[in-house]
Amino acid sequence: MPAAKGVKKIALTVAAAAIAVLFLFPVGITFTNSLMTGQEISIDYGPIGQMNEEAARRAASFSNLKLVPDQVTLEQYGKVLAGSPKYLMMFWNSVFMVVPIVAGQTFVAELAAYAFSKLRFHGRDRLFLVYVLTMLMPFQVTLVPNYLMADELGLLNRAGAMIWPGIFAPFGVFMLRQFMLDIPYAYIEAAKMDGAGHVHIFGKIIIPMIKPALAALVVLLFVDYWNMVEQPLVFLDDPFKQPLSVYLSSINGDTGIAFAASMLYMTPMVLLFLYAESYFVQGIQLSGIKG
Amino acid sequence: MKKWIRGDSAAAWLFLVPSGAGFALFYLIPFVRAVFDSFTDGTADSHFAGLANYRGLLASESFRKAASNTFYFSAVSVPLILALSLVLAMLLNKNLYVRSWLRTAYVLPLVVPVASIVLIWQILFDWNGSVNAWLSGFGYERVDWMETDAARVVVLVVYLWKNIGYNVILLLAGLQQIPKEYYETAQIEGAGRFRQFRSITMVYLTSAMFFVVIMSILNSFKVFRETYLIAGDYPHDSIYMLQHYMNNMFASLDIQKLTAAAALMAGSILLIVTGLFTLERRYRRFME
C-alpha cells in the first residue's frame, strides 16, 4: 500500500516539523527582533521588568511578542558595532580564550582517551571514574581552591586563568573514550601483528576513525567556552579583559541592542555548527561505523 | 622488566602524562584541598574541626532547601529528557521528508547563547510577559512565573529545550548502528513491537544511553547558569540550587560551609556515577 505509506510519512514529517518550530522559535524571535527599530522595540517590550511595582501589576499592559518587524532596519547592529568599541574588543577576548582551549583540550584529550579505552594498565577504571566525577562537578565546588591555585600560578586577572583549566578539563577525555571503546580491539591486534607501535596505531588508525567524534567535540567545547560566564567573573577583575559572554549578560535595559548583540554573538557558533554537522554526517558514512 | 616496558602500561602512562599532569594541577589538587578545608575551622592557623562544618551545614535550612531542590530537579529532569529524546530519536530514525533539516533544527538550541535565552525568557515569563498576555487573552488569570513554584517548570522547559537535540543526535547515531535484519528476524519469530524495543533497541543502545545519561546529569547542573542570570543570587525558593548556595557562601566568605557543601555534593555524585559505571561495564561484558 504505497498510498498509505505516503500518508504516514507526511503525518510523521508534520509532527516532527511542529516540534522543530518550537525549537527554532527563540532563535527566530531573536533574529527578526534584531531588525526592528529602537522605537518599535521600546513600545513592544516596555512593560517588561516592572514586576515589583504594584501599579504595573494592576495595569493591563503586556509586552507584545512580534515576529515580523514593522520596519526592517540595521539600526541595532549599527549601535552594537559602531556605538561601543567594547563589543569588538570583547569579541577578540572571547576568541583568544576559546581557540586555545578548544585546540588544547582536543589534543590532550585524544591522547588520554586512547590510554583509557585501548590500553591496559593498573587502576585504569578507577582513574577514569575520577575524571568523570570531576567532570560532573559544578564550577562552584572547586571555586575556592581554583582561585588559590590561579593566584599561586600568577594567573589571576589573566586569560590564562580560563585557558589552562580549560585545556585540561576532563570532558573531552570522557567523550572521546566513549567513541574509542566502540572501535573493535581486532584492529589494534592486527596492527600490532604487523609491528606497529602505539604512536602509529593512534595516529594512523584511531584518529581517522574518530573524526566525527572530534568534530562533535570541537563544536561542543566551542559552544561551552564561548558561553562561559562564572569563571571570567571570578578570575578577571578588569572589565576590559572580559569575554563577550559576560558583556552580553550585562546588557540590561536596552533590549534592541541585546537582540542584535545576541545575533552577532551566536553567528560564529551557528556557522561552525552547520559546517561541522555536514562533516560529522560525512564522517559517519565514510568511516563505516554505521555498520 | 622487558615485558613490562613492551607491554601496554608504559605506553599508557606516556599517553596519559599531558592530561594527567594538568588534570591533577587544576582539578584534583584543588579538589583535595577543598575537602581538606572542609575539616578545618577556617582560622588563620586552621585547626582541625572534625565534622563541625558538616554539622553546621546540615543544620542550615538554606542548604537543605538547595540540596533537595538540586536533587529533585535532576531526579525529574533526567528521566524526562531521556524519554523525550528517545521518542524524538526514534521518530527521526523513521522515513521522513527533510530529515536532516529537522535534525539541525533540534540541535540548534545548543548553540544559542545563554544571554539571549535569558532575554527571551524575560519576554515570555515576565509578569507583563507574553505568556501571561496569551493566558489573559484566553480569560485565565496570569501567573507570576518566577515568583511561584511555576519557576521550577520554567527552568525545566529551558533545560529540555536546550539539551534534547544533543541527546537526539547521540541516540540517533546509536539507532542507526542497529542492523535492520535484527528487527526483521524478530518479526518473523513473532516478537511484538514492545518486545523488539526491549530486546533489540534498548540492548544495542546501552552504550549510547550511558553517555546520554551522564551528559544529561551534567547539563542538569549547567542550567544553573541561565537561572542565575535571570533570577540572581536569591531566586524563588523552588529554584534555589546548590550552586546558588555555594556562590552565596563564597560571597560571604564562609569557606567552611562552601567546601563542606562541595564535598557532600561530590560524594553524592560519586555514588550515582559508580552505580552507572558498574552497570555500563556489566552491559559491555554482556555484549562481548
ipTM of the complex: 0.85
Contact between B221 and A136 using a beta-carbon 8 Å cutoff: yes
Using a CB–CB cutoff of 8 Å, tell me whether B252 touches chain A.
no
**pLDDT score, position A59:** 52
Contact between A262 and B242 using a beta-carbon 8 Å cutoff: no
| Dihedral sign computed on CA atoms, order A170, A173, A176, A177 | negative
Considering only the beta carbons, identify the residue of A20, A144, A270 that sits closest to B258.
A144
Which residues 93-122 in chain B show a CB within 8 A of chain A?
A: 94-98, 100-102, 104-120, 122
pLDDT (average), residues A82-87 = 78
- 3-class DSSP assignment, residue B48: strand
Nearest chain B residue to A141 by CA distance is B262
Which residues 30-49 in chain B show a CB within 8 A of chain A?
A: 30-31, 33-34, 37
For residue B251, which of A249, A143, A153, A149 has the smallest C-alpha distance? Answer: A143
Contact between A144 and B255 using a beta-carbon 8 Å cutoff: yes
For residue A273, which of B253, B166, B235, B43 has the smallest C-alpha distance? Answer: B166
- Sequence-ordered list of residues with C-beta below 8 angstroms from that of B280, at least 6 positions apart, any chain: B206, B207, B210
Residues of chain B with pLDDT under 70: 1-7, 44, 287-288
Query: Does residue A63 register a pLDDT over 60?
Result: yes
For residue B85, which of B172, B7, B20 has the smallest C-alpha distance? Answer: B172
Residue found under cell 518550537: A22
Residue A290's pLDDT band (cuts 50, 70, 90): very low
Count CB atoms within 10 A of the CB of residue B43. Answer: 8
Q: How far is A107 from chain B (nearest CA, A)?
A: 9
Count CB atoms within 10 A of the CB of residue A50. Answer: 15
Task: Give B-chain residues touching A10 at CB under 8 angstroms.
Answer: 97
**pLDDT score, position B234:** 87
- 3-class DSSP assignment, residue B242: helix
**pLDDT score, position B287:** 66
Element (H, E) at B263: helix B255-287
Cell numbers for A76, please give them: 541595532
Full-model pTM: 0.87
pLDDT (average), residues A195-212 = 87
Residue A265's pLDDT band (cuts 50, 70, 90): confident
**pLDDT score, position A281:** 61
Count CB atoms within 10 A of the CB of residue B10. Answer: 14
Q: How far is A260 from chain B (nearest CA, A)?
A: 10
User: From CA A179, how far away is CA B211, in angstroms rounded?
Assistant: 10
User: From CA A246, how far away is CA A251, in angstroms rounded?
Assistant: 9
Contact between B115 and A265 using a beta-carbon 8 Å cutoff: yes
Considering only the beta carbons, identify the residue of A10, A56, A142 that sits closest to B128.
A56
What residues does B40 pair with on adjacent strands?
B48
Instruction: Report which residue type is found at B134.
Output: W
Segments in chain A forming alpha helices (H)? 2-33, 38-45, 54-58, 75-78, 85-118, 124-136, 143-152, 160-167, 171-181, 185-193, 198-201, 207-209, 211-226, 230-235, 244-250, 255-287
| pLDDT mean across residues, chain A | 83
Contact between B107 and A258 using a beta-carbon 8 Å cutoff: no
User: From CA B193, how far away is CA B199, in angstroms rounded?
Assistant: 10
Task: Give B-chain residues touching A258 at CB under 8 angstroms.
Answer: 115-116, 119
User: From CA B76, how far away is CA B24, in angstroms rounded?
Assistant: 33
For residue B132, which of A255, A21, A50, A25 has the smallest C-alpha distance? Answer: A50
pLDDT (average), residues A173-191 = 86
Query: Does residue A285 register a pLDDT over 60?
Result: no
Query: Which of B29, B36, B88, B116 is the mutation pick for testing A, counting most A CBs within 10 A?
Result: B116
Considering only the beta carbons, identify the residue of B106, B111, B119 that sits closest to A223.
B111
**pLDDT score, position B75:** 94
Contact between B116 and A30 using a beta-carbon 8 Å cutoff: yes
pLDDT (average), residues A207-214 = 85
Residue A287's pLDDT band (cuts 50, 70, 90): very low
Nearest chain B residue to A175 by CA distance is B211
**pLDDT score, position A54:** 53
Query: Does residue A250 register a pLDDT over 80?
Result: no
Task: Calculate what percentage of chain A has a pLDDT beyond 70.
Answer: 89
Task: Give A-chain residues touching B126 at CB under 8 angstroms.
Answer: 47-49, 51, 63
Q: How far is B199 from chain A (nearest CA, A)?
A: 19
**pLDDT score, position B2:** 44
The better pLDDT of the pair A108, A248 is held by: A108
Cα B147 → chain centroid: 24
Contact between A62 and B12 using a beta-carbon 8 Å cutoff: no
Query: Does residue A286 register a pLDDT over 60?
Result: no
pLDDT (average), residues A204-222 = 87
Query: Does residue A255 register a pLDDT over 60?
Result: yes
What Rg, from alpha-carbon coordinates, does chain A have? 24
Contact between A63 and B123 using a beta-carbon 8 Å cutoff: yes
Query: Which of A42, A67, A133 is the mutation pick for testing B, counting most B CBs within 10 A?
Result: A133
Q: Is A93 exposed, middle or buried (0-12, 13-18, 19+ CB in 10 A)?
A: buried
User: From CA B288, how far away is CA B279, in angstroms rounded?
Assistant: 14
Q: Answer whether B206's CB lies under 8 Å from B280's CB.
A: yes
- 3-class DSSP assignment, residue A254: coil
Task: Give A-chain residues touching B124 at CB under 8 angstroms.
Answer: 65
Q: How many CB pairs under 8 A join A and B?
A: 299
Contact between B34 and A142 using a beta-carbon 8 Å cutoff: yes
Query: Does residue A143 register a pLDDT over 70?
Result: yes
Contact between B30 and A178 using a beta-carbon 8 Å cutoff: no
**pLDDT score, position A85:** 78
Residue A171's pLDDT band (cuts 50, 70, 90): very high
**pLDDT score, position A253:** 64
